[in-house]
Amino acid sequence: MPITELLERNAREFPSDTALVEINPQLIEKSKVTWREYALIEPVNAKKTRREMTWSEFDKSANRFANLLLCRGIKKGDKVAVLLMNSLEWLPVYFGILKTGALAVPLNYRYTAQEIKYCLELADVDALVFGSEFIGRVEEIFERIPRVKQLFYVGEDCPTFAESYELLVTYCSSKAPGIKLTENDDAAIYFSSGTTGFPKAILHNHESLSHSAIVEQKHHGQKKEDVFLCIPPLYHTGAKMHWFGSLISGGKAVLLKGVKPEWILQCISQEKCTIVWLLVPWAQDILDAIDSGEIDVSNYELSQWRLMHIGAQPVPPSLITRWKNHFPKHDYDTNYGLSESIGPGCVHLGVENIHKVGAIGKSGYGWQTKIVDDKRNEVKQGEVGELAVKGPGVMTCYYNDEKATESVLENGWLYTGDMAREDEDGFIFLVDRKKDVIISGGENLYPVQIEDFLRKHDAIKDVAVIGLPDARLGEIAAAIIELKPGIECTEDDINNFCLDLPRYKRPHKIIFADVPRNPTGKIEKPKLRQIYCGKSLVEAQTEG
């Protein structure tokens, strides 16, 4: 089934129900009204603080953009890139592209001008939709991307080198364009995060997208009355595919433009959110704000909040123990996935398995898993090997990169590059990225295991472990440690804490510094290697 059919069904069955809400907390605070008042202020002033859209309006907006693209010569198989911050326009633009039979190509909002150019060229993009935050970057390259013949601008004060999206779609028909689609048609190109090398273009078809919606609802039981809070960037598969649970159920979703703990809790309270997907740093910030007294949860209406789930990175068990202490009635879940497997869900813990916190779970709905050695033979239970997954959500290929595709796809199996082990109950535990393994004196060290141990220290907010060159051992483990605000801690304190680790796993070097993470919460280890190993970013990224 093409994913667009779900939107069209919702427009028919729930035309007047709210589909999307956009909230800008910075503007709410600047308007000097309380959060309780922001939804009640006059529409003219409320326009930028809180906007909403019904399912009917959503579908009509998508149709208008689809018809605009068709009028401009965009056809089935062409590519249209999306470079927008989370907004009410994002998803209608995305679905408008799909309705033409073209491929949507979401771009990371942190890309530099040169990275944008690189991705546009790699994906053979024909048109670009961008927002006000990106005027400077697009202006820098627009004359050097001749294939991109259409530039559509979302926002006020349209630059001279682009055309106004809002103005143009006003004159377009809101009726469905009627382009025939099948689940085998190409639908979207996503880009790998770049934390393990330069971004690759990941091609998915409509079956992949539709299956991810089914998987999300099967795992989290979204119903019509559920309200999903979406905070991560929509260009990322994780955010969008979790939102697909709202799409398939016809429920409301709230796009929050900010990550401060008080903003998150205020939004949950005011919008009556029931499901919230967080990244590890955000969950940590909420808990730290509660523990410090900065936030009093009794000031918020949170009784309707039923599920908190985390993905995109390994989840420290200590974090969930803290969370359950503060929110004992919450269901908790984690989903594992890659952009190559259309985001989260190919491995799934399940809310009923909280006793296995620390594991990423078992095969997700409609998925198969196995753990293999270097020759891709299955290892014995309990042994560490590479995790492979198979299912309807596996990518078609790396677009325009046959060699890279062949290195990870074989007989329908996607070899993830993640090292994992399966326990006696069949639950899978991530050990580390294959390229992140540190070989020290002949021993394999898995940084995630050391990081999980160090996160148990009360003074540590975040930690990353990387390998540093060593003349005698080849590599040594170095721990970059970000301390909680206002907390003092010494190298001796950390070394004493690590006495409970086997000697070969103890970090040889302690560095107190910030731990950089990308927008999806993953630690940017190439950047750390560039800083602490004296390598160029190209070398660091190539090594992983």
What band does 44 get if pLDDT is binned at 50, 70 and 90? very low
Indicate the length of the chain as a whole number. 544
Give backbone dihedrals phi and psi of 94, rounded to 5 degrees, phi first: -60, -50
C-beta separation of 520 from 233 below 8 A: yes
Chain centroid to CA 247: how far?
A: 17
Q: What pLDDT, in 10s, does the model give residues 354-368?
A: 899 889 999 999 999
- pTM of this prediction? 0.84
Task: Please report the pLDDT score of residue 21 as a whole number.
Answer: 97
Query: What's the one-letter identity of residue 268?
Result: I
Q: What mean pLDDT comes out for the span 500-518? A: 89
Q: How far apart are CA 277 and CA 333, in angstroms?
A: 9
Per-residue pLDDT band for 319 (boundaries 50, 70, 90) equals confident
Would you place residue 279 in the very low, low, confident or very high pLDDT band (cuts 50, 70, 90)? confident
The yes-or-no verdict on residue 43 having pLDDT over 60 is: no
Structure-block tokens of residue 140: 């820098």
What percent of the chain has pLDDT above 90? 72
Taking 50 as the threshold, does the pLDDT of residue 540 lie above it? no
First vs last Cα of the chain: how many Å apart? Answer: 36
pLDDT, tens only, 202-241: 999 999 999 999 999 999 999 999 999 999 999 988 889 9
Would you list the domain boundaries of the chain? 437-543
Residue-wise over 222-260: b if at least 16 C-beta within 10 A, else e?
beeebbbbbbbbbbbbbbbbbbbbbbbbbbbbbbbbbbb
pLDDT at 498 over 90: yes
DSSP designation for 25:
H
The pLDDT value recorded for residue 504 is 79
Cβ atoms of 492 and 460 within 8 Å: the answer is no
pLDDT in tens, 159-182: 999 999 999 999 999 999 999 999
DSSP code, position 481: E
Q: How far apart, in whole angstroms, are the C-alpha atoms of residue 260 and residue 265?
A: 9
Q: In whole angstroms, how far apart are CA 272 and each of 257, 275, 444?
A: 17, 10, 47
Average pLDDT of the segment spanning 131-148? 96
**Cα gap 150→143, rounded to integer Å:** 12
Domain 437-543 sits in CATH at 3.30.300.30
In the chain, % of residues over pLDDT 70: 92
With residues binned 3-state (H G I as helix, E B as strand, rest as coil), the percentages for the chain, rounded to 5, are 35, 25, 40
Average pLDDT value for the chain: 90
